[in-house]
């Protein structure tokens, strides 16, 4: 379980990115976080694996106090939490298989890291992960020869290979075309259901959030203003979540849904 209690995140410049966040996410939930750019979505997501440290309150993952973790404790936490980014974070000049094998590097002895040696078991796990996302046939293809959707699936396979219980995805479909975006969301849904993994996605595409997630969290100005089942979300709720200082509502922002975050405070 992931639990936020009165969590605050204030940046050194004084900007309050998260304010009094109280939230519980149970194992095997599929959660979509939605809201305007700069609302605090990415910050909320990245606090879970301590990419961002909180400045107030408490945050725990499986009863472990994330805020108190340092060094080895953070690395241990992150081995159980997969992270997927909009930019894929792949090494494009090497094969798909080698990119997936990277997931084993943190647990390897120093000499194997230096020599780049992977065991038969590690290679089999990597190939199985590629099979789970439907691109086993691309294992020995260079990443730069793949489409954007295929590259995102490589990133997902790399995460699956580390066998996490939680997957965090920060705008994973923002740079994909609509058809490919749906295919990737189908992958997330299947993985959530088949492997009992908690999936938490920060996403601009409201229609995809409602179609695939089971729970939606609406964030505005660093605060949670909606938390409920995806099937409960209607135009009135979307207008409330997306209403900004200029009074623009959900219909205006539906056209902006494909615009990716422009900064790290999202």
Reported pTM: 0.86
- pLDDT for the residue numbered 159: 93
Per-10-residue mean pLDDT of the chain, 266 residues long, equals 97 95 97 96 96 96 94 92 90 94 87 88 95 95 94 93 94 92 94 94 96 97 96 95 56 37 40
Secondary structure (H, E, C), the chain: CEEEEEEEEECCCCCEEEEEEEEEECCCCEEEEECCCCCCHHHHHHHHCCCCCCCEEEEEECCEEHHHCCCHHHHHHHHCEEEEECCCCCCCCCEHHHHHHHHHHHHCCHHHHHHCCCCHHHHHHHHHHHHHCCCHHHCCCEHHHCCHHHHHHHHHHHHHHCCCCEEEEECCCCCCCHHHHHHHHHHHHHHHHHHCCEEEEECCCHHHHHHHCCEEEEEECCEEEEEEEHHHCCHHHHHHHHCCCCCCCHHHHHCCCCCCCCCCCC
State the Cα–Cα distance between residues 223 and 44, nearest whole angstrom. 10
Asked if 126 and 49 touch (Cβ cutoff 8 Å), the reply is no
First to last CA, the chain: 23
Biggest CA–CA distance in the chain, Å, is: 59
Q: Which residue has the tokens 């409920």?
A: 228
Which residues partner with 168 through β-bridges?
83, 200
Asked if 127 and 139 touch (Cβ cutoff 8 Å), the reply is yes
CA distance readout (Å), 104 to 79, 159, 161, 191, 222: 10, 10, 8, 20, 35
Domain boundaries, given as residue ranges, for the chain: 1-80+166-266, 88-163
Take residue 54 and report the two structure tokens written for it: 């909180």
State the Cα–Cα distance between residues 167 and 169, nearest whole angstrom. 6
- Which strand ranges, in their side-by-side order, compose the sheet holding 198-202? 81-85, 166-170, 198-202, 30-34, 215-220, 223-229
- Please give the class, per CATH, of domain 1-80+166-266: alpha beta
- pLDDT for the residue numbered 248: 38
Q: Checking DSSP bridges between strand 198-202 and strand 30-34, what pairing results, if any?
A: parallel
User: Residue 33: how many CB atoms within 10 A of its CB?
Assistant: 28
State the Cα–Cα distance between residues 262 and 10, nearest whole angstrom. 19
């Amino acid at each position: 379980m992931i639990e936020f209690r009165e969590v605050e995140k204030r940046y050194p410049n004084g900007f309050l990115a998260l304010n009094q966040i109280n939230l519980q996410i149970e194992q095997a939930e599929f959660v979509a976080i939605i809201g305007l750019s700069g609302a605090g979505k990415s910050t909320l997501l990245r606090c879970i694996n301590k990419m961002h440290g909180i400045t107030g309150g408490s945050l725990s993952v499986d009863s472990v106090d994330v805020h108190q973790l340092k060094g080895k404790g953070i690395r241990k936490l992150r081995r159980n939490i997969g992270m997927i980014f909009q930019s894929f974070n792949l090494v494009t000049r090497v094969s798909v298989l080698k990119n997936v094998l990277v997931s084993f590097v943190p647990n390897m002895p120093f000499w194997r890291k230096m020599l780049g040696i992977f065991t038969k078991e590690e290679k089999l796990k990597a190939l199985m992960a590629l099979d789970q996302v439907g691109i086993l046939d691309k294992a020995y293809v260079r990443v730069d020869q793949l489409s954007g959707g295929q590259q995102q699936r490589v990133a997902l396979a790399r995460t699956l290979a580390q066998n996490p219980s939680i997957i965090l995805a920060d705008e994973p479909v923002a740079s994909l075309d609509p058809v490919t975006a749906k295919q990737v969301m189908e992958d997330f849904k299947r993985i959530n259901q088949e492997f009992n993994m908690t999936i938490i996605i920060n996403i601009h595409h409201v229609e995809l959030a409602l179609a695939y997630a089971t729970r939606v969290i609406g964030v505005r100005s660093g605060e949670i203003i909606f938390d409920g089942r995806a099937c409960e979300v209607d135009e009135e709720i979307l207008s409330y979540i997306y209403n900004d200082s200029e009074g623009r509502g959900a219909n205006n922002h539906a056209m902006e849904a494909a615009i990716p975050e422009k900064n790290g405070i999202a």
